[in-house]
Structure 1
Amino acid sequence: MSKTYLVLAYAITPVHVGMGRAPGVVDLPFQRDSIGYPIVYGSSFKGVLKSTLMGKNDKLAKCIFGAEPDEDEKYMGRFIITDLIPVFYPIASLDGYIYVSTDYLLRKTLDILSIFKDTSAMKIENIYTITNHGEEIGILLGKLKSSYTLTLSDSVKKLGSLIKDKVYVFSDDVGLQVVESALVRVTRNVLDDNTKKSQNLWTEEYLPQGTVFIGAIIDAERTNELCVGIKDIDKEFREKLDNAAIFLGGKETIGKGLVKIKVI
């Protein structure tokens, strides 16, 4: 297996990465996987990373992520980007707020960690440890008993000030409902400048501030002409993107989508 980087991300503001218009109560839902859980597809994540890096080192960005769409010469980038999985969600509770996850999301996390060649350096204990067999907690859906609880590692808790030590993990039969309850739906409006009447009314779906994501970046160890002359691609990449603040989705003009990433 080629060199692989673990990516942890933390939502500093609510995040919307859309999948286009859809029928139903929410006009602009968040991207979803085949089960219905929110996800940031690799193509969306890659585009943001490349755009961020282009502003710092144009040559390195094209070496790592490939040619621009409007360039005549097409070539592949060196790195492969996985989907970015929202795995820990803050949700309102009788105790103010708590963090939740599901068995399904933790299995996806295990799959990502399984691709690392150096398994001793990337154990699940670096993300969380299982602490007990579950607790009953009051959330928006009423009182539910979690399957078990987790204690997050210091590396995860250091991502943001909202993150709590404990995460309540729910079984798959109620897990998706719990995650849906954590999402934020915002109705927006466009008014006519003169009459102040509504011209357009729609609802957008956001992951809440404080959501924690996990993903991976794989060095495919292929090269292109833009990589020639870059002395240490690994070092340059880490220096430019580790602890960087990026905007996921297209809502930065209204202060949404600001995410801090940690590259391990």
Structure 2
Amino acid sequence: MPGKLFWIVALTSIHPGVGRAEAAHVDLPVQRDEFGLPTIWATSLKGAVRAKAEEGLFSGSYCADEGKIEECAKVIAAFGPKPDYAYEHSSAVSFLDAKLFAIPARSLKGVWTYVTSPLLLGFAKLYSQALGVGLNLPQIPAVGEGEVALSDKAYAEGGAAVINEMRFKVAPQEAPRIDLPPFKKVKEITGREPAFAVVSDQDLPKVVRRSLLVQYRVRLSQKTKTVETGPWSEEYIPPFTAFIAGIHCHGRARESVKVRLPPKDKEKKPEEKEVQLKGFDPCAYVESKARGALWIGGKETVGRGLVEIL
């Protein structure tokens, strides 16, 4: 099953939202996986990558510039037709949910450290095997509930470590420093080697929940500058959080697709052109569009949602 693995690093706080949730502890929670851990759903990831690929090419369902009709055709061939014409054919690639791999957590010593667990490394191993992509994952120590293995003992004091205001007994085993693309990127940004803490799968949900930021907002009246709406609460995933995602390549490359141009006269139908795409590799195309900086989720106008895909 051929595919591509992606690493995603949050460069700012991100809010891949689910809309309002009645039973949630915040008004606007972030997306979660089957185990209640923060995630980026495949639909959100695909939509963000597609939006990046489409930039400047489309106006609604139409290719906006006839001179760029081949680029419009590549988007349609790789991601599928626009919603109005979705019945024509499917996307040539399948996106996977971005699964949490490691999340920053506050530390009494050393300011912050990455936290991961056997479950999170298991997600990465699962994706690696499912997509047929080699991945050199470290062996991490097994720790019991209430214990933590540290990659740097300077983060401990008196045989204990305080992470996200929770006290853990430091295990005798040492956690490895994980040498993977997201952490190389973080080292490049911060200028220092990130530290790692391995907790048990039982302790993981509590640590992760305390790493998420809940921000309260209001909307002010333009005239009176008093509260018009709110307050409401929004949940954010912190910067430097690392996710693993990927795409499965079906091998269903299309040699031609229909591209629609806006009608030259309001009373006429849109013009349809069949564009030939012989030798087009949709998997390589999607990968090329996905790599680099990307906005995911809402709130980008207030500096939230910027990630880098590696």
TM-score range, shorter chain: 0.7 to 0.9
- Counterpart of 1:107 in structure 2: which amino acid? G
For residues 185-239 of structure 1, what are the alpha-carbon distances to aligned partners after superposition, in whole Å with 9 as ceiling and x for unaligned? 1111101122222122211001001111101111011133339425342544443
Mapped contact 2:140–2:198 kept (Cα < 8 A):
no
Cα deviation code 1:6-45 (max 9, x no counterpart): 0001111100011111234410000112221111111111
Structure 2, unmatched stretches of 5+, are 58-70, 144-148, 151-159, 258-274
Aligned with 2:84: secondary structure?
Answer: coil
State the match for 1:10 in structure 2.
9
* Comparing 24-33 and 6-15, the one that deviates more: 24-33
> 1:212 — aligned with what?
242
- Give the alignment of 1:177-216 within 5 angstroms: 177-200=206-229, 201-216=231-246
Mean alpha-carbon deviation: is it higher for 180-189 or for 227-236?
227-236
Structure 1 residues 260 and 230: CA distance shift in structure 2, 3 A? farther
Match of 2:98 in 1: 84
Deviation at 1:123, TM superposition (A): 2.7
More displaced 10-residue stretch of structure 1: 20-29 or 51-60? 51-60
Question: Cα–Cα, structure 1 residues 186 and 72, in superposed 2: closer, same or farther, change >3 Å?
Answer: closer
Cα distance change on mapping 1:228 and 1:168 into 2, 3 Å: farther
Following superposition of structure 1 onto structure 2, how do residues 14-93 of structure 1 map, counting pairs within 5 Å?
Answer: 14-23=13-22, 24-55=24-55, 57-71=71-85, 74-93=88-107
1:241 maps to: 290
Query: Number of residue pairs matched?
Result: 255
1:101 and 1:223 map into 2 onto residues whose CA distance is 38
The match for 1:107 is 122
Equivalent position SS for 1:151: coil
User: Structure 1 228/58 Cα, relative in aligned 2: closer, same or farther at 3 Å?
Assistant: same
TM-score by length of 1: 0.87
Identity within the alignment, %:
27
Which residue, 169, 175, 178 being the options, matches 1:152? 178
Q: TM-score, normalised by structure 2?
A: 0.75
Asked if 1:261 corresponds to 2:273, the answer is no
Distance 1:230 1:209, change over 3 A: farther
Q: List runs of 5+ in structure 1 lacking aligned partners.
A: none
Change (3 A) 1:70 1:180: same
Gap change, CA 1:149 and 1:230, over 3 Å in 2: farther
Offset of residue 106 of structure 1 = 1.8
The answer on whether the counterparts of 1:184 and 1:205 sit within 8 Å (CA) in structure 2 is: yes
1:130 partner SS? coil
Letter in 2 for 1:130: I
Separation of aligned partners in 2, 1:81 and 1:39: 13
**Structure 2 CA distance for partners of 1:203 and 1:257, relative to 1, 3 Å:** same
Post-superposition Cα deviations, 1:98-128, rounded to whole Å, max 9, x if no partner, equal: 111122222222211111335xxx1333xx4
- Alpha-carbon distance in 1 for matches of 2:82, 2:236: 29
Deviates more, 1:95-104 or 1:75-84: 95-104
1:220–1:257 distance in 2 versus 1, CA, 3 Å: same
Read off the aligned partner of 1:123 and give its amino acid letter: L
State the alpha-carbon separation in 2 of the partners of residues 239 and 173 from structure 1.
38
